[in-house]
Amino acid sequence: METKNSPDVTEKAVTQPPGTQIWFTHGESSRDWRQWKLQVDQEATPTQPDAASPNDPLKWPAWRKDAVLLAVGINSFLAAALTPILATGFPEISDEFGVGLQKVSFTIGIYMLGLGVGAVVWCPTATLYGRRPVYLGAAVLLIASSAWAAASPSYASLILARLVQGIAASPGEFLVSVTVSEIYQPQERGFRLGIYMSLIAAGKSLAPLIGAGVIQGVGWRWVMWLSVIASVLCLGFIFVFARETYWARSENPGILTTRNPGEVYTDDLRISPPLRFTQTLCAWNGRLSQTGWLCLAYQPILLFKSLPLLWSAAIYALSLGWLAVLAETISHLFQSVNGYGFTPVQTGLLYISPLLGTLLGSVVGGKVSDIVARVSAYRNNGVYEPESRLIMMLPVVIATAAGFAGYGWGIESHDHWIVPTTCFGLIYFGCILGSTVAVTYCLDCHKSSAIQAQVVFSIIKNSHGLAFSLFVVDWVKAAGPRDTFLIVAGLHLTLLLTTIPMYIYGKLVRARVSQGSLGDVRSDQASGDHVQ
């Protein structure tokens, strides 16, 4: 095989828009499938770690990276599970506090508001002091807020507790994808982000199932007490396994410039022998940025000018936001007299179908997406374009449009419960696949501002969930499930069809964004406060 003698090239060496990278430096590819696949697997080296330092997260052993992913992934699962965990207990909460089902459904909306507020608060903190102290501090707050929710004497107290719960759980939603981007190569991220998204969706699908049994057996308050226990276990995993993943990657290594605290921290690790296990348990490692907290908190606002980011955030927001809408309405649709008359446990068992859809969506959205990206890059003379992943939106369109329409129509017609349940699983499959593709595409386009980009994701997604929580139950009662979910299907399909112009013109848009008004964000991050 003829091979070019050019060295491996990173994105910074390519005069292309952010996200365009050289993944392969090959000449003529083999015609034999097995040899060709071996070339694809071996030649993808888009990001060069620090060759001299075993402490660089990109050079950690696979088991250490996977241990970090496990720890923060459990946090993601718990953060997602707390969103709908009370859904099957809405009638009981309504009777205890003397409020209507629409008001009780706001316990989901206020939690999502907390997730958005938490992203704004924790983002600059993670940039200033690192990822590990944020994970640890938020986990402690989650224990306290879960206990508060369990002991709430009134509806108002429960609402406030759920708001704080959301703030505490926020790092499990927005920070995990950043951690993934710091320890895995780009061609490895799709599969890991698929695992992350599957944990989020599994939390949303398993929580009502678990919560239903607990609520029917010992009451809704015990669901919150079990959340306290789960939060303590989560804190333990984070403390032991979630070591700091920050690493400042200078654009001009070897050139003497004024170093910021993050570069000093990285340089110290660069010349240090491998850290001992006890050293990785340190809660924090000092200040990593010289920029003020308020200035860092403002930076995500600048990213609202980026069309690729806004498009990705909109796909992500609707994909995961609709799952909250389903949780808010499921007790009315399946437990009411006019519905199927299910018990809380029977309603919870409906989530087995979404769980299967979640697992399938995460595999397709992760592993298959990585394969598609590698094949596309290999056929494009070794150059990877983030838009190549958008091909995966085709099954998203089919699954979500059919799922939402069939779900509402089946319930309205009072078809056998297997019909809406199957559509329930289709919805989860499409939404998880779509959100995984959106997150991966965004990280490819905005690697230098990954944390800030995830804040935008969190704000838009949780604003969508909060807005619908204010009226969705009353809307379903007034319009009926068929008309409601046909409208939802139409809204979602309209947004998904914008994938076509993004696929065609995405590279041009990225080029204009890089030449436009986002330079301030990148220049702030270029000094070392960013991930690769």
Query: Does residue 190 lie within any of the structural domains?
Result: yes
- Residue 273 belongs to some domain of the structure: no
- Record the tokens describing residue 196, joined without a space: 């992350």
Distance CA 177, CA 366 (A): 13
Copy the structure tokens of residue 273. Answer: 């022998």
- Does residue 217 form part of some domain? yes
Dist. CA 285–CA 134, nearest whole Å: 12
Residue 44 φ then ψ, to 5°: -80, 105
Is residue 76 in some structural domain? yes
Element (H, E) at 22: strand 21-22
Let me know if residue 424 belongs to a domain: yes
Q: Which H or E run contains 21?
A: strand 21-22
Question: Which amino acid, 440?
Answer: T
The amino acid occupying position 49 is P
Q: Is residue 13 part of a domain?
A: no
Q: Which run of H or of E encompasses 363?
A: helix 352-363
Both structure tokens of 389: 């992943």
State whether the Cα torsion 359-362-367-373 is positive or negative. Answer: positive
Q: Which two tokens stand for residue 356?
A: 């299967």
CA distance 526 to 422: 48
Per-residue pLDDT of the chain (532 residues; tens, 9 = 90+): 333 333 333 434 345 777 788 776 654 444 554 555 555 555 555 555 655 678 889 889 999 999 999 999 999 999 989 988 888 788 889 999 998 888 888 898 899 899 999 999 999 999 999 999 999 999 999 999 999 999 999 999 999 999 999 999 999 988 998 899 889 887 777 778 878 877 887 887 788 778 888 888 888 999 999 999 999 999 999 999 999 999 887 654 444 455 788 888 888 888 888 889 998 999 888 889 888 899 988 888 888 888 999 999 999 888 888 887 887 788 778 877 677 888 878 887 888 888 888 888 877 767 787 788 888 887 888 788 889 989 999 999 999 999 999 999 999 888 888 999 999 999 989 998 898 889 889 888 887 787 888 888 888 888 888 888 778 888 888 888 899 999 999 999 999 999 999 999 988 888 887 776 454 444 344 333 433 3
Contact call for residues 221 and 92 (beta carbons, < 8 A): no
Domain containing residue 405: CATH number: 1.20.1250.20
The alpha carbon of residue 463 and the mean position of all alpha carbons in its chain are separated, in whole angstroms, by 15
**What is the C-alpha to C-alpha distance for residues 41 and 181, in angstroms, rounded to an integer?**
19
How many separate domains does the chain show? 1
**323 in a structural domain:** yes
**DSSP letters spanning 39-88:** HHHHH---S---TT-TTSGGGS-HHHHHHHHHHHHHHHHHHHHTTTTTGG
| 26 part of a folded domain | no
Domain of residue 505: give its range: 57-248+284-526
How many residues in total does the chain contain?
A: 532
401 near 494, Cβ under 8 Å? no
How far apart are alpha carbons 391 and 398 in whole angstroms? 13
Nearest Cα neighbor of 453 from 471, 466, 467, 441 is 441
Q: How far apart are CA 440 and CA 280, in angstroms?
A: 28
CA dihedral 306, 309, 315, 319 (to 10 degrees): -140
- Give the C-alpha separation, 383 to 3, whole Å: 15
